[in-house]
């Protein structure tokens, strides 16, 4: 048996150098995005802390009352299902069913919602608006504590 001869490569009309260049640009942009995002998060956190500390709900970007305004807003991430959460929830539910409990579909849905609520995350964010009303921040404090939806 003789060694396999390499097959002649067919001519491909692709700008491989440009492909490499674009790929490198994307990677660099990804790194820049991470840096920019962390800087944004840091400044946003400082602004939110300052607004909550002094009890004001917005910052006037123009400084003269004309806006635009950065206004405190609510951001809620509902708990979502994962394989581990499915397993934990249904293991508990199945053990209750085996113990003789019976549930309607509505009750099962309510149990699932109640289970996911423990994974809910609430935080404040800044939204850019053209108008803002003067209001306090007490309702936001209550919402962060898990009060009203």
User: Is residue 47 within 8 Å of residue 59, measured between CB atoms?
Assistant: yes
Residue 32 lies in a domain: yes
Angle at 55 between CA 62 and CA 119, to 5 degrees: 105
pLDDT digit string, tens, across residues 41-86: 999 999 999 999 988 888 888 877 787 889 898 888 877 888 999 9
Claim to verify: residue 111 and residue 125 sit in the same structural domain: no
DSSP collapsed to 3 states, 123-136: EEEEEEECCCCCCC
99 in any annotated domain: yes
User: 67: domain range?
Assistant: 16-76+121-149
Is 60 exceeded by the pLDDT of residue 1?
no
* Predicted TM-score (pTM) of this structure: 0.61
Tens-digit pLDDT profile for residues 14-40: 788 898 999 999 999 999 999 999 999
Is 98 part of a structural domain of the chain?
Answer: yes
In a domain, 7, yes or no: no
Residue 51 sits at φ, ψ, to 5 deg, of -60, -45
Degrees, nearest 5: CA angle 86-78-56: 160
What is the Cα–Cα distance from 112 to 131, expressed in whole angstroms? 39
Statement: residue 147 has pLDDT above 60: yes
What total number of domains does the chain contain? 2
By C-alpha distance, which of 108, 56, 119 is closest to 82?
119
101 in a domain, yes or no? yes
Q: Give the number of C-alpha atoms closer than 13 A to the C-alpha of residue 25, restricted to the C-beta side.
A: 6
């Amino acid at each position: 048996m003789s060694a396999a001869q390499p097959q002649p490569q067919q001519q491909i009309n692709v700008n491989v150098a440009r492909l490499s260049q674009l790929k490198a640009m994307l990677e660099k942009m990804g790194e820049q995005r991470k840096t920019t995002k962390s800087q944004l998060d840091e400044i946003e956190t400082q602004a939110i802390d300052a607004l909550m500390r002094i009890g004001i709900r917005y910052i006037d970007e123009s400084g003269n009352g004309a806006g635009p305004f950065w206004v405190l807003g609510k951001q809620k991430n509902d708990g979502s299902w994962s394989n581990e959460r499915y397993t934990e929830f249904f293991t508990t539910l199945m053990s209750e069913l085996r113990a003789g409990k019976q549930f309607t579909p509505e009750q099962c849905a309510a149990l699932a919602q109640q289970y996911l609520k423990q994974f809910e995350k609430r935080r404040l964010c800044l939204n850019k608006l053209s108008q803002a009303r003067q209001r306090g921040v007490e309702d936001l404090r209550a919402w962060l504590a898990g009060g009203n939806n």
